[in-house]
Each structure stands twice: as C-alpha cells, then as structure tokens.
Amino acid sequence: MFGLKKDIHSFSDEALMQLLSTRRCNEALTEIHARYSKKVLGFFLRMTKGNEEKSHDLVQDLFLRILEKHHLFDSTKRFYTWMFTIASNMVKSSFRERIHEGIEEGSKEFDFHFDFSDNRMDREVFQHSLKEAIEQLEEHHRMAFVLRYMEEMSVKEIAEIIEQPEGTVKSRLFYATKKITQALNEFTPEQVGQHFKLS
C-alpha cells in the first residue's frame, strides 16, 4: 500500500494509523508520538491540575492504547479527534482517583497570550488567577473548557469526543466561561470575554 522508501514525515495521521498494522509499525508510532506527545501532555497537565508524574504516565498509556486499539480507528474520521476521545476517557477514569495536587507554579500550560499592552494588568497575576479559576470548575465543565479554549476544538468536535449532544457542550461551556469570567472580574471585559466565544 505504501512504498517503504517514502518519507514517513509526509504521511497524514490517518495514513500513519494504517501503517500500525504493517512492518513499519514502529516508525508510524514514533512519528505519531513526535507529532502529539507534547500536545497531549499539555492537555493532561491541565486536566490533572499540573500533576506532572500522573500526566507523563497518562501520555505513555495513551500511546500504548493507540497501538493496541489502532484496528478500531475509523479511517474516514479524523485521527486527532479519535486520539482526544481516548485521552478524554482516560482523564475521566483518573478523576476517580481524585487528584488534589495544585497546578505547579510557573507552568506555561495556561498561557493564553492576552494583550496587556495598556500596562494596567500584570500578566503573571492574570495567569495565576486563570489557573485558580479553572481548578475550581467541576470536571466535566473543565473538560469542555480546556478542549474548546486551549485545544481550540469546535463544539462539534468536543461533542464527538465526550459523546454528548452539542447542546450539552454549549451548556457546559456557557457555565464554565461564566464562572471563569466572574473569577476574573478584576480584569477588563475586553481582556477576558473576547477569548471565550462559542463560535
């Protein structure tokens, strides 16, 4: 199906998934890992409130599951969404362990690149306030918020990942953004509200 001499870096995610059942399995998994390990680590860090050890364990487990479950992947679907569906389910399972560790100081995982050019707001204070506000969200609201505003997924993609209707996703996002905005009420609406839209 695929020429062995073809540069694997040029393969699509979906093509790499097809390769997982061939003799180029190791190459394919290595390439998928190179593309997404940092991305999913950031996701797990956000969802576990900065627990690095737990997050790294989840990353390793995720790629093992991708390898083991590659035959369940629907090649007509987008790999990115399928991968985050697995990651989302793993997070839901890990929530049962009730991780209580706080987000590590200095973490860059919540960097929203807000504009503080007016010099009235301190960026570090904002980042700290945002981290605390996200920590206070209930797990299902935090999941929707992180997928939408940090992983930049559409409402439709989130609905597919968490296996809920789009209306439920919008409801959770509405609640989450309302709580976040209230927690950040010391900052100007322009600096906060413009980044939290459902469209």
Give the end of a domain, one of 57, 88, 108.
108
Q: State the CATH number of the domain containing residue 98.
A: 1.10.1740.10
- Quote the pLDDT of residue 149: 85
My answer on whether 146 and 182 are in the same domain is yes
Give the end of a domain, one of 108, 130, 153.
108
CA distance to 50, 77, 91, per residue, from 127 (Å): 14, 35, 23
Q: Work out the pLDDT band at 13, boundaries 50, 70, 90.
A: very high
My answer on whether 89 and 161 are in the same domain is no
Is residue 18 assigned to a domain?
yes
Residue 196: pLDDT over 60: no
Question: Considering the chain, what is the average pLDDT of its residues?
Answer: 80
- Quote the pLDDT of residue 97: 55
128-145: pLDDT as tens digits:
777 788 888 998 999 999
Is residue 1 assigned to a domain?
no
Q: Where in the sequence is the domain holding 149, given as residue range(s)?
A: 110-199
Q: State the CATH number of the domain containing residue 193.
A: 1.10.10.10
Residue 10: pLDDT over 80: yes
CA distance to 100, 130, 151, 179, 190, per residue, from 104 (Å): 12, 13, 20, 22, 27
My answer on whether 118 and 98 are in the same domain is no
73-89: pLDDT as tens digits:
998 889 999 999 999 99
How many structural domains are present in the chain? 2
Give the end of a domain, one of 108, 134, 161.
108
